[in-house]
């Protein structure tokens, strides 16, 4: 996590992974949280399985949008910083780490 | 939704799409809800983007497990019922509807 | 594979899993094969990585369309047959097997 | 495509997106091509649908491995180059383009 430290620095004002859109990500996450609670109500009320599956797909799509937003900021800041600083091993490690994260997203 | 009516019947005791594991699905959904709230805290605390992405993947995997559980029950009950009742058009419509739901899951 | 035998019967004319669209599936597969060869040429010619990734997505989308086509036929025939024949254990096994196949598709 | 030109330069020796593993990508693609031909034989021979679906999943997984390999090289070279050269707009465009490619992969 040392690399996180170096990338994110001392305080919240130093976070790099969002282009001022931390608020947008939080709004998305709250909407997804509401969808998950909605799913619990649908299950409780024995709603039609296909309608529940459609809502599951919508929640998953919301999570993917969050992931892409985070990934874009991460590439633009944490990875870029490592590359600009010229430490080839660190830059390569950052790229590998980001690609592994994409692999986990693809497998889910 | 008439088919839902016919499949799910009059009361909660008549729901077909879960093999007695409605409680298990609800537990999963509550755990996912907790993960989504955890994501909001991680974003709030400026945690490392890759760690947040890993948590997003875990939540998505949880939603897929819910979807597969629902799908299995749906095939075993709603779709099977339509097929056993021998109305070919209704059975075909049910299969098409289930396949379309899988297509939506695959695209997310 | 006994169930396969019982479902598919003696000859090609007895295959159940396609609604007469075996030819359509083969056409899709040939088109995908062409796309994979196209990918090899793109790599050979050092085409731009993003353009190659776009072509990879197109090939994957083609494979998913094949999978959904196969799944729909499988549910409409092999699974339905098990359910109509009234052997509950066999029907449940068929549904489980189909759901597991969807799980594999979702993880890729 | 100008950026492609600048990244890939005049000849094969100037391609950046593979770390010497162009041969590995080509081997993977030839194996996938063989799997797609295998799928055509399986369909032709009326093999069991679930076995065909399993093979479709394997081919899709192969394509994802190719995509991740390409993405890693792209981030390490084309995107890094834009970031190191210090043109902020170009660097941002490269990151956006890579994220969009990941979005297409996620949707398939």
ipTM of the complex: 0.84
Q: Per the CB < 8 Å rule, is C75 touching B98? A: yes
Superfamily of chain region A20-106: Metal-sensitive repressor, helix protomer (1.20.58.1000)
Asked if B108 has any chain D CB less than 8 Å from its own CB, the reply is yes
**Between the CA atoms of B71, C72, D31 and D46, what dihedral angle is there, to the nearest 10 degrees?**
130
Residues 25-84 of D with CB under 8 A from A: 64, 67-68, 71-72, 75-76, 79-80, 83-84
Segment D81-94, tens digit of pLDDT: 888 888 889 999 99
Chains touching chain B at 3 or more Cβ pairs under 8 angstroms? A, C, D
The nearest alpha carbon in chain A to C103 belongs to A108
Helix (H) or strand (E) holding D101: helix D88-106
Asked if D96 has any chain A CB less than 8 Å from its own CB, the reply is yes
Distance between CA atoms of residues A85 and C93, nearest Å: 57
Asked if A87 has any chain B CB less than 8 Å from its own CB, the reply is no
pTM over cut 0.90: no
State the average pLDDT over residues B42-59: 96
A79 neighbourhood in chain D, CB within 8 Å: 75, 79
Asked if C93 has any chain D CB less than 8 Å from its own CB, the reply is no
Segment C31-86, tens digit of pLDDT: 999 999 999 999 999 999 999 999 999 999 999 999 999 999 999 988 888 888 88
Superfamily of chain region C2-106: Metal-sensitive repressor, helix protomer (1.20.58.1000)
Segment D31-52, tens digit of pLDDT: 999 999 999 999 999 999 999 9
State the number of CA atoms in the 13 A half-sphere of C80 facing the CB: 23
> Which pLDDT band, with edges at 50, 70 and 90, does C87 fall under?
confident
Chains touching chain C at 3 or more Cβ pairs under 8 angstroms? A, B, D
Q: What's the gap in Å between the CA of C72 and the closest CA on chain A?
A: 15
Q: What's the gap in Å between the CA of C53 and the closest CA on chain A?
A: 14
Residue spans of the domains in chain B: they are 20-106
Q: What's the gap in Å between the CA of C82 and the closest CA on chain D?
A: 15
Q: Per the CB < 8 Å rule, is C102 touching B76? A: no
Judged against a pLDDT cut of 80, whether residue A94 lies above it is answered with yes
Helix (H) or strand (E) holding D8: helix D2-8
């Amino acid at each position: 996590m040392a690399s996180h430290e170096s990338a994110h620095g001392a305080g919240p004002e130093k976070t790099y992974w969002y282009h001022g859109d931390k608020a947008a990500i939080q709004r998305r996450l709250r909407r997804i949280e509401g969808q998950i609670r909605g799913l619990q109500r649908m299950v409780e009320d024995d709603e039609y399985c296909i309608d529940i599956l459609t809502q599951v797909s919508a929640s998953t799509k919301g999570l993917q949008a969050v992931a892409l937003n985070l990934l874009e900021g991460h590439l633009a800041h944490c990875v870029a910083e490592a590359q600009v600083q010229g430490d080839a091993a660190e830059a390569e490690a950052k790229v590998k780490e980001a690609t592994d994260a994409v692999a986990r997203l693809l497998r889910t």
